[in-house]
C-alpha cells in the first residue's frame, strides 16, 4: 500500500486477527498479523464488543520482526493536511486518513514489548485521529464524573489536571478523561478513555502510595508515573456523560471557586488552543458553549490536591 503522500511505502500485511471495539461510543475495527496487537487494543478500548452496524473506521497494524531504526525514542506525529496524520519513530511508520476512515501502520516487533509506548503513541493516536472527525471533537481537558454528570477540568499543561483527577479518583469520583475529552454535539455527550493517569514523580509527596510505582517513558519522551484507574474511582460504566459543566483551573494565593459567565468561559478556553487541538478550532466552540451553559466556574487550586474535592462536589451539586 502506498502512503497518501507517496513518501512512505507500507506493505500490505496478511491480516489474520481482527476485532471490533467500542471506542468513544463508535465501532472501531482493529486488524493485525499479530494477536498481541488486539490484546493491547483491549487495554485501550475495553474488550471486543458486538455492536450494531459496520465499523466506522479501521486500523491496520502490520508487525515486522525487526527493521533498521528499531530502538527507544519518541513517536512523531505530523498533520500536513487536515485529513491526514503521519506517524513515524523508531520501529514504526504509518498514517491515518479521515477521508478513507482508515489507518495503516507498520511496526517492529520490539516496539510491542513496550505495550504502553505502542498503545499511546501509535494505536490510540491513529484511532482517535480518525474518530475525532465523527462528531467527537477533542478538548484539552480532564474530566471526572458523578452519576451521569461530568466536570471538564481545563487549564494549560502543567496546571495540575492529572493530579486533581487522581485525587478525585481516590475520593470515589469516576474518571472520564485525563488530558483530552471528546465532545459529541448531536446528541450531546462527553466521552473519555479512562485507562490510566500519568503523573509527575513528585506527586508522591501528596500520595505516598505512588512512591511504589516506577516512572516510565511515555511515547513523547517524557517520564511519568502511569497509574491504572480501573477499580480506583473508575467502573465498568460506559465512559460517557450526557450532562457536563466546565471548570477552568488556575494557580494562585487564595484557593476557591467562582462562577463564570458562559461567554467568558468559552472565550478563555477557545482563544488559543494548543497544537493538535487547534485542528478543531472551527467546530469545538459550539460544543464548549453547550457545556458552559450548564455551568462554568474558575477554581484556584489549593496546595494539596485532595483539598479541592469538596469544591468539585459543590459544582456537581449545582449541576
Topology given in CATH for the domain delimited by 137-318: Rossmann fold (3.40.50)
Sign of the torsion formed by the C-alpha atoms of 251, 253, 256 and 262: negative
Q: Three-state DSSP class for 245? A: strand
Alpha carbon 168 to its chain centroid, in Å, reads 18
Pairwise CA distance, residues 263 & 18, whole Å: 45
Q: Could you report the per-residue pLDDT of 82-132, keeping only the tens digit for each?
A: 999 999 988 899 999 999 999 999 999 888 888 888 998 999 999 999 999
Pairwise CA distance, residues 191 & 181, whole Å: 6
In the chain, CATH 3.40.50 sits at 137-318
Question: Which is nearest to 15 in space by CA: 116, 76, 105?
Answer: 105
Pairwise CA distance, residues 1 & 120, whole Å: 24
* Statement: residue 231 has pLDDT above 50: no
Pair 190, 181: CB distance under 8 Å? yes
Q: Binning pLDDT at 50, 70 and 90, where does residue 46 land?
A: confident
pTM of the model: 0.88
- Distances, alpha carbon 244 to alpha carbons 89, 279, 309, in Å: 37, 23, 17
pLDDT, average across residues 16-21: 90
Amino acid at each position: 500500500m502506498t502512503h497518501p503522500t507517496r513518501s512512505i511505502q507500507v506493505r500490505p500485511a496478511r491480516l489474520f486477527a481482527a476485532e471490533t471495539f467500542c471506542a468513544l461510543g463508535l465501532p472501531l475495527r482493529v486488524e493485525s498479523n499479530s494477536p498481541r496487537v488486539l490484546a493491547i487494543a483491549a487495554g485501550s478500548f475495553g474488550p471486543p464488543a458486538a455492536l450494531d452496524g459496520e465499523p466506522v473506521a479501521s486500523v491496520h497494524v502490520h508487525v515486522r520482526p525487526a527493521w533498521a531504526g528499531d530502538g527507544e525514542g519518541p513517536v512523531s506525529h505530523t498533520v500536513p493536511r487536515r485529513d491526514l496524520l503521519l506517524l513515524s519513530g523508531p520501529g514504526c511508520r504509518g498514517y491515518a486518513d479521515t477521508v478513507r476512515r482508515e489507518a495503516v501502520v507498520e511496526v517492529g516487533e520490539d516496539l510491542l514489548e513496550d505495550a504502553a509506548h505502542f498503545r499511546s503513541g501509535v494505536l490510540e493516536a491513529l484511532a482517535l485521529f480518525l474518530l475525532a472527525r465523527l462528531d467527537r471533537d477533542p478538548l484539552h481537558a480532564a474530566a471526572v464524573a458523578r452519576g451521569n454528570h461530568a466536570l471538564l477540568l481545563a487549564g494549560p499543561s502543567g496546571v495540575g489536571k492529572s493530579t486533581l483527577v487522581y485525587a478525585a479518583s481516590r475520593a470515589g469520583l469516576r474518571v472520564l478523561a485525563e488530558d483530552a475529552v471528546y465532545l459529541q454535539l448531536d446528541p450531546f455527550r462527553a466521552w473519555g478513555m479512562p485507562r490510566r493517569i500519568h503523573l509527575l514523580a513528585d506527586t508522591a509527596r501528596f500520595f505516598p502510595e505512588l512512591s511504589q510505582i516506577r516512572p516510565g517513558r511515555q511515547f513523547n519522551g517524557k517520564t511519568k508515573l502511569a497509574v491504572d484507574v480501573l477499580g480506583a474511582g473508575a467502573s465498568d460504566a460506559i465512559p460517557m456523560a450526557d450532562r457536563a459543566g466546565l471548570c477552568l483551573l488556575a494557580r494562585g494565593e487564595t484557593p476557591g471557586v467562582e462562577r463564570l459567565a458562559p461567554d467568558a468561559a468559552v472565550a478563555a478556553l477557545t482563544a488559543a488552543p494548543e497544537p493538535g487541538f487547534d485542528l478543531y478550532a472551527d467546530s469545538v466552540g459550539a460544543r464548549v458553549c453547550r457545556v458552559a451553559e450548564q455551568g462554568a466556574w474558575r477554581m484556584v487550586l489549593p496546595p494539596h490536591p485532595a483539598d479541592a474535592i469538596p469544591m468539585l462536589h459543590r459544582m456537581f451539586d449545582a449541576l
